[in-house]
Amino acid sequence: MRAAVLGPTGTIAVERIDDPVPGPDDIVLRVAGCGICGSDVKARPAMPEGTVMGHELAGEVVAVGAAAADRWSVGMRAAALPVFSCGRCRWCEDGDVAHCTDAALVGLGGAPGGFAELVRISADHAFALPDAVPGGFGPLVEPYAVGLHTAHAAAVTPGARVLVVGGGPVGMTTTTWAARLGAEAITVSDPAASRRERAAAFGATATVDPTADDLGGPYDVVVDCVGKPGLLDAACAAVRTRGRIVVAGVCDVADTYLPIVPLLKELTIAFAVYYRPAEFRAVVEAFADGSIDPSPLVTRTASLADLEATLDAPDPDDLKVVIDPALA
């Protein structure tokens, strides 16, 4: 099969590699699409040579392991929760499979990912896509599960006033779910005018340019979907007394904040990453019944050959770029 493979210095080349073979509890998908995530950009320098990245994936089943044959058959469509877990530890038993003590993360160094024509995934963590879900929606299940998990961590309640910092995919999917959970007002903060303009399609009631205007508030909940130094201090200033802050943005450099502000306000500061299987199911159901239309999230589709350039120079006007391995 063809796959986008990391070289020794982080370069990416489309190469021919062996087709994956399913283990007893696995299925193999022909990848219909795999989204590019901001974490791919940040994780790429740490990935070993030979890695095939990509974790926002869906496709058609082309091979089924013996132990999964009672649930899966060739021709079915599936979206993947991109992890192999042990199924026995306390995290797995609690449905928190991404925190499994033996977790192998698909596309992030633990197992080959979806920037390839074929990918092996866990049959236990695959979610059948009903006919009501359009083909292009499959790769969007994962990012919308991230948004739902973040909204759950934020404990959004009916009538809440919410500030979402960052109008990228995590921010937009979190906004969608905050609206679904009954938030009365949702402000999206982003310096890119194109993202502010798109925010209403995801449920935002207002936007703010943080380079020109105050963030406003006070808000009941502030969600950081960017992950840059200084944003925690900004969130503490914008949230109300006894409000809640959730950090979902991946910050990979040191940050400091002034503790006296959250102390005097008695704030709750939480962090959110990954998702639970139940959240994947909820996303598939919302796509199937039409209560969520994820199509505005995709700004363009690209080929495996386009992956390196897209990771090297992300376009700030893009939301979600989906790699289609079938494209030349």
| Banded model confidence at residue 288, pLDDT cuts 50, 70, 90 | very high
What is the arithmetic mean of pLDDT over 68-96? 96
- The whole-chain average pLDDT of the chain stands at 96
Tokens of 79: 């979206």
* Model pLDDT, residue 316: 85
Ranges in the chain annotated CATH 3.90.180.10 = 2-141+276-323
Average pLDDT over residues 99-127: 97
Rounded to 10 degrees, what is the CA torsion of 182, 152, 286, 57?
Answer: 150
Give residue 87's pLDDT: 93
Which pLDDT score, from 0 to 100, does residue 317 have? 86
161-165, 284-288, 293-297, 316-320, range with the lowest pLDDT? 316-320
139: pLDDT strictly greater than 90: yes
Mean pLDDT of 16-29: 98
What residue has token string 């979600």?
Answer: 320
Question: What homologous superfamily does CATH list for 155-271?
Answer: NAD(P)-binding Rossmann-like Domain (3.40.50.720)
Residue 72's pLDDT is 98
Fold observed for domain 2-141+276-323: Quinone Oxidoreductase; Chain A, domain 1 (3.90.180)
Which pLDDT belongs to residue 45?
Answer: 93
State the distance between the two ends of the chain, measured CA to CA, in whole angstroms: 14
Point out which residues pair with 79 in neighbouring strands: 58, 127
What interhelical angle do 277-289 and 141-153 show, nearest 10? 120
Give the confidence band of 205 by pLDDT, cuts at 50, 70, 90.
Answer: very high
CA–CA separation, 187 vs 238, rounded Å?
A: 12
The candidate with the shortest Cα–Cα distance to 287, out of 133, 73, 77, 120, is 133
User: What would the pLDDT profile of 51-60 be if each residue is shown by its tens digit?
Assistant: 999 999 999 9
Contacts 24+ apart (CB under 8 A), 290-295: 290/132, 291/180, 292/144, 292/176, 292/180, 294/137, 294/140, 294/144, 295/134, 295/136, 295/137
Burial of 242 by CB count in 10 Å (0-12 exposed, 13-18 middle, 19+ buried)?
exposed
Q: Is the pLDDT of residue 187 over 90?
A: yes
Q: Which residues contact 263 (CB under 8 A, 6 or more apart)?
A: none
The pLDDT assigned to 107 comes to 97
Give the predicted TM-score (pTM) of the model: 0.96
Q: What are residue 269's DSSP bridge partners?
A: 245
252 pLDDT band, cuts 50/70/90, is confident
Cα 131 to its chain centre, rounded Å, is 23
pLDDT at site 272? 97
pLDDT-based confidence at residue 26 (cuts at 50, 70, 90): very high
Measured distance CA(145)–CA(312) in Å, rounded:
26
Q: Say whether pLDDT at 98 is over 80.
A: yes
CA torsion sign for 302, 308, 314, 320 is: positive
Question: For residue 251, is pLDDT > 80?
Answer: yes
**pLDDT cut 90: percent of the chain above it:** 95
**Quick one: tokens of 295?**
């199509």
Confidence band for 328, pLDDT divided at 50, 70 and 90 = confident
Residue 38 in tokens? 């901001």
Q: What is the pLDDT of residues 166-181, one digit of tens each?
A: 999 999 999 999 999 9
- Predicted confidence at residue 152, as pLDDT, reads 97
Mean pLDDT of 155-162: 98
Spatial CB neighbours of 7, under 8 Å, sequence gap ≥ 6: 13, 49
Angle of CA points 306, 57, 104, to nearest 5°: 110
**Mean pLDDT of the region 93-118:** 96
Residue limits of CATH 3.40.50.720 in the chain: 155-271
Q: Which residues on adjacent β-strands are paired with residue 3?
A: 15, 116
